[in-house]
Amino acid sequence: MTKRLVLVAGNIASGKTSLAERLGARLGWRTAFESVNDNPYLADFYADMRLWSFHLQIFFLGHRAQQHLELAQAPQSAIADRSIYEDAHIFARALYHLGNLSERDYRAYRQVFDMVTSGLPRPDLLLYLQAPVTVLVERINQRGRAIEKGITPEYLSLLESFYGEWMQTFDLCPVLTIRTDDLDFVHQAPHFDIVVDRILDRLAGKEEVLFGNQGGE
């Protein structure tokens, strides 16, 4: 199979890590995940978001750019849990919208982001995972991560609206939308088989990929 670079995008608790792990194991692809434990700004950010938002976003930008390049240059196919593009179009935008990132810092960040991403190799496919906010809230409560205690349904809805707008203009590669409330690829092996087949079909160039009654594009 031709070497591929696949990115997984979607709201918090939409199933990105679970899907990336399982796809990597099934297809023998290299997998990459979000940097949390080695992020030197995360604790400061949660203590004072307005002071540390710009620093945090710059750290994520550098980390994801390096990760993207390494995956693109690796000899084997690869899949990344969250894309570099979400940093700007979703999370930095949300920080700015909520007043935690000043207009000056937001503009400076976007300028650096545009410059960095303009030189990155394009991915072959973006997997966009979707689920209703009520489902996302339930999953967040079930996994009980301390870092996610302050996440509200309103914040998730804001992110979801930004994802919708971003998807309307995203044109770097084909997009395969997967409703993770309909397809339980974590606990239902047949559901995961369906997801794998649809991903491989899309990578093979099939223009229309369907999940039951839902469209795949």
Q: What is the CA radius of gyration of the chain?
A: 17
Confidence at residue 215, expressed as pLDDT on a 0 to 100 scale: 40
Q: What's the Cα-to-Cα distance from 111 to each of 3, 57, 106, rounded to whole Å? A: 31, 13, 9
pLDDT tens readout for residues 12-61:
999 999 999 999 999 999 999 876 667 888 888 888 999 999 999 999 99
CA pair distance 137, 14, nearest whole angstrom: 10
Number of domains in the chain: 1
Q: Which domain covers residue 85, as residue numbers?
A: 5-215
CA pair distance 9, 20, nearest whole angstrom: 10
pLDDT tens readout for residues 156-172:
999 999 999 999 999 99
Average pLDDT, the chain: 91
- Whether 81 is a known active-site residue: answer yes
CA pair distance 98, 49, nearest whole angstrom: 10
Q: Which of 38, 44, 48, 81 is catalytic?
A: 81
Q: Give me the percent of the chain exceeding a pLDDT of 70.
A: 93
Confidence at residue 34, expressed as pLDDT on a 0 to 100 scale: 78
pLDDT at 214 over 70: no
Confidence at residue 209, expressed as pLDDT on a 0 to 100 scale: 47
Confidence at residue 178, expressed as pLDDT on a 0 to 100 scale: 93
Tokens at 4, concatenated: 């591929």
- CATH number for the domain that contains residue 122: 3.40.50.300
pLDDT tens readout for residues 170-209:
999 999 999 998 888 988 999 999 999 999 999 988 755 4
Contact by Cβ (8 Å): 169, 85:
no
pLDDT tens readout for residues 117-138:
999 999 999 999 999 999 999 9
Higher pLDDT, 62 or 143: 62
**What number is the average pLDDT over the span 76-87?**
95
Q: What's the Cα-to-Cα distance from 154 to each of 92, 133, 158, rounded to whole Å? A: 17, 9, 6
Tokens at 22, concatenated: 């399982």
Q: What is the distance of C-alpha 23 from the center of its chain?
A: 15
186: phi then psi, degrees, rounded to nearest 5: -80, -45
Q: Give me the percent of the chain exceeding a pLDDT of 90.
A: 76
Confidence at residue 174, expressed as pLDDT on a 0 to 100 scale: 94
Contact by Cβ (8 Å): 174, 125:
yes
Confidence at residue 89, expressed as pLDDT on a 0 to 100 scale: 97
Sign (positive/negative) of CA torsion 47, 51, 57, 62? Answer: negative
